[in-house]
Amino acid sequence: MRVVFLGTAAGRPTVSRNVPALLLQREGESFLFDCGEGTQRQMMRYGTGFSVDDIFLTHLHADHFLGVTGLLRTMGLQGRQTPVRLWTPAGTERMLHRAVTLGYERLPFPVEIHGLEPEQRVERTAYTVIAFAVDHHPRVRCLGYAFVEPPRRGRFFPERARALGVPEGPLWGRLAAGEAVEVDGRRIEPRDVLGPPRPGRCVVYSGDTRPCETTRRYAAGADLLIHEATFAQDEAERARLTGHATAAGAARLAAAARVRRLVLTHISPRYADDPRALEREAQLHFPSVQVAHDGLVVEVPYVDAVPEWQDSGGTVGATAP
């Protein structure tokens, strides 16, 4: 799994940064979160391709969704025929429909628009996308998203299988896949040769928000938290009034949630060309942090070890908010 940052600016583009969009790629599938103006050009620039079936929008402020119209037109000109699913906060479907149908030409593929309520889940076989409420603007419906994989089976221990007399070969494969087998009239269960379940991966994207309890809850133990950091701490009051976060505030939330890694995005144009002050500010509260730039690629590997705090009752990712 990896995340490609296509746009990392807040409000408007700068010379070095486009407006918000990020692409999550997992085992041949791609998911777009937010789609600011010009996102299709960023996808060409960074070589991600346009094979996106699901676009998740955090809210319908212009810098987060105006790129949808152009992206869909580009897909149509390239001959796409398979559907695209747009996910948006419940109650904003009609406004999004207007953007999708802007212009005279018809798209050669279906576009499905789905409204999401907080805590609603988009369930797939190998992962779940969970929408959660954030704290941005009282009159604007806003969501964050958690992309969560289920726990994986435990590691297979060959020495345990040998000690139980299981011959190497197909029976090992069946046990590793979670199936019981019979050897010399004895039933061997997968738990006899497998270690404890291993966590899946979890990536959480805050969208635009002040630091809030729901983000902390859904990000608990996440492999990667992508949080907005529009301002530095000297603008903390402005951040509060406009429903945004400072780098320090995002870092304190990451520390409270005990995430593995924090990446800051949605950077105000005033810091766009030199975000080091934001990074230094955040590192005072959470060391594993960086400020994103357009084109940044973040790999999200599997981690087998379960942190000690999770063993004592913590929540893994967003599996049990």
- Catalytic residues, by residue number, are 63
The number of C-alpha atoms within 13 Å of 36 and in the hemisphere containing its C-beta is 22
Longest dimension (CA), the chain: 73
